[in-house]
Amino acid sequence: MAKICPITKKGSRVGGGYSNRTRATQFNPTGQVRKYPNLQKKKIFIPEMNKTVSLFLSTKAIKTINKRGAYATLKKAGLV
């Protein structure tokens, strides 16, 4: 599975792994946690090219495609 969205360029990030119980007691580091973006496999039909493309997109990228259109968004990202 792809780890980076090709449109928004969202990838994994490192965040703190603290629980509320750790905060309530003495300082007890739990290490770092890798957090991944919400990627979905999506088939997108591009009517200008009469072609279907399958991509792993973040949910924000899916909303962007719905708003601006598939061809314009993919062209701006350099995928078409």
Residue 61 is assigned to a structural domain of this protein: yes
pLDDT at 72 over 90: yes
Q: Calculate mean pLDDT across residues 58-68.
A: 95
- The CA angle 58-59-62, to the nearest 5 degrees, is 95
Residue 69 is assigned to a structural domain of this protein: yes
Residue 2 is assigned to a structural domain of this protein: no
Is the C-alpha dihedral spanning 77, 8, 40, 36 positive or negative?
positive
Please report, for the domain that includes residue 70, its CATH number.
2.30.170
- Between strands 13-16 and 32-35, the pairing is antiparallel
pLDDT at 76 over 90: yes
The number of domains in the chain is 1
Residue 73 is assigned to a structural domain of this protein: yes
Residue 49 is assigned to a structural domain of this protein: yes
Name the residue range of residue 44's domain.
Answer: 13-77
Q: Which pLDDT does position 28 carry in this prediction?
A: 62
Q: What is the pTM of this model?
A: 0.77
Residue 7 is assigned to a structural domain of this protein: no
